[in-house]
Amino acid sequence: MKIALVSDIHAEPQALQRVLADMPSVDRVLCAGDAVSEYQFCPETVQLLQQVNAQCIQGNHEMVLFSGRNAAYLRQCQAEYAPELLDVLATAPVSFTCEAAGARILMVHASPWKPFEDYILPHSPKLARFARLPYDFVILGHTHVPMVQRVSHVTVINPGSCSQPRDQDRRGSYAILDVERRAVELRRVRLD
């Protein structure tokens, strides 16, 4: 089973389209949050995710948008967009677990522990805590920095951002998880 992993699209449907065009055949697509931005809902991004039947979770941007912290913009979105479109992300969970090919998978946007908006970067000492989790794979987003780190029995994966990379490579990124082979491939796409 192959699972595509995307995150931190931030309301940039062109970047997501480039990822989808580059993506090999997969069995499932998971989105680790921040599909939109807290002050920019993007129906095109949501529709693209729906077309590939992506399982989405809320990131910090969806939480701000749909919590009413910016009530005026939320009312504007509710007046402008169909409720079904908003509900795709408004009703998305903040974490997602599943099992595939005998592997246990957890997806959260930033961190499985408080503070939930913490940044887990490559080679961070915070990665050691993942060894105590009862999962084979933990998928994160938030940092916009792609990462594959093995910590004991747990592989921690951040697909990076397909629209706003924050590492030394200016291309967008996503990941392909081959669950049977227990292999992860980080892939890059041009943004221009």
Q: Between helices 83-90 and 43-51, what is the axis angle to 10°?
A: 70
2-189 classified as CATH 3.40.718.10: no
Domain range summary for the chain, segments of one domain joined by +: 2-189
Instruction: Give the DSSP H or E segment for 83.
Output: helix 83-90
pLDDT for the residue numbered 115: 84
- pLDDT tens for residues 96-125? 999 999 999 999 999 999 988 999 999 999
Q: Which two tokens stand for residue 38?
A: 């807290």
CA-wise closest residue to 8 among 38, 35, 26? 35
Per the prediction, the chain carries an average pLDDT of 96
Contacts of 90 (CB under 8 A, 6+ apart): 62, 66
pLDDT for the residue numbered 143: 98
pLDDT for the residue numbered 191: 87
pTM greater than 0.85: yes
pLDDT band at 64 (very low <50, low <70, confident <90, very high): very high
Cβ distance 175 to 185 under 8 Å? yes
pLDDT cut 90: percent of the chain above it: 94
